[in-house]
Amino acid sequence: MHLLIDGYNLIRQSPALRHLDARDLEAGREALLERLALYRQRRPRHRLTVVFDGWQAGGPLETRDSYRGVRIIYSRRGERADEVIKRLLAREGPRALVVSSDRELQEQARRVGADWVSSREFDFLSTQAAGEGEPEEADDPWPRGPAKKGPARRLPKPERRRRQRLRKL
């Protein structure tokens, strides 16, 4: 699975990272990269690519970097991170999982057969995967409810597939 992460969207949706970002933009990015590196250690089979906007103050060319196994892409000046993520989505197709609360990116993921998770859900799941303990039943972001029987009560197939992929996070 290849996780395509909208960096600033995730920072601004995470309560812990939002406070750092409000004080210093660089501190918010560094904290996010550190958290993603810890996540990468726990889930080494997942490829992680985080994309940051560089459209206002970025360089004339798209720049790429790496931090402890996490690929970092800064979009070029005049280009938003969303366009970079859409381009990566077109290349990765169903192997991708988009991490963003941006509806436009979620729709693009659906169009190419990829899945998506909101930034808040991923923030919750990544803190659990980073070793802060197993989620308790009350903290489960997808409550299962009573046991259901038969196909008439089954969730639609795309939603079952999406939940199955998200459980791998």
How much is the pLDDT for 147? Answer: 65
Residue tagged 């990544």 (tokens): 126
Q: How far apart are CA 21 and CA 112, in angstroms?
A: 32
Residue 108, amino acid: Q
Helix (H, G, I), strand (E, B) or coil at 96: strand
Please tell me the total number of residues recorded for the chain in this structure: 169
Return the HEC string of 3-70: EEEEHHHHHHHCHHHHHHHHHCHHHHHHHHHHHHHHHHHHCCCCEEEEEECCCCCCCCCCEEEEECCE
Q: What is the pLDDT along the chain (169 residues), one digit of tens a residue?
A: 899 999 999 999 988 888 887 788 888 889 999 999 999 998 889 999 999 987 666 667 778 899 999 999 999 888 889 999 999 999 999 999 999 999 999 999 999 999 999 999 988 887 765 555 444 444 555 566 666 666 667 888 888 888 888 888 7
How much is the pLDDT for 135? Answer: 43
Query: What pTM was estimated for this model as a whole?
Result: 0.77
How much is the pLDDT for 138? Answer: 45
Helix (H, G, I), strand (E, B) or coil at 91: helix
How much is the pLDDT for 130? Answer: 57
Residue 84, amino acid: V
Chain centroid to CA 27: 19
